[in-house]
Amino acid sequence: MKAFNTVFGHMLAQGNPLDVLIAGDDAEAKATVSAFIKSLGLRPMDTGPLGMARWLEGTGLMMIGLGRYGAGSFNFTLGVSTSA
């Protein structure tokens, strides 16, 4: 399982509803981790099998770059927006 590496810790502490990207091969483990994420008032977003963890790692690194060079701070999150 891979989870939480695309959410800055201080953003979790603010208590706002956030998306948590997850990846994993085991359906039961995904369900357990998803339930834990929901219990924190967050939204689990399944990105697919554990092979996607590679891309989640890269996303975390990209967020560090955005915070340092683009956004000007680390006070941001990534999320999924869907239209109804």
Q: What is the tens place of the pLDDT at every residue in 22-39?
A: 999 999 999 999 999 999
Quickly tell me which residue has 């399944």 as its tokens. Answer: 46
State the pLDDT at residue 57.
96
CATH number of 2-70: 3.40.50.720
d(CA 73, CA 37): 25
Is the four-CA dihedral 75, 34, 53, 83 of positive or negative sign?
negative
Neighbour-count burial of 1, counting CB atoms closer than 10 A to its CB (0-12 exposed, 13-18 middle, 19+ buried): middle
**pLDDT beneath 70: ranges in the chain:** 84
**Structural tokens at position 51:** 């092979």
Answer yes or no: pTM beyond 0.85.
Answer: yes
In terms of Cα–Cα distance, which of 1, 12, 11 is closest to 53? Answer: 1
Report the alpha-carbon angle 83-32-63, nearest 5.
Answer: 55
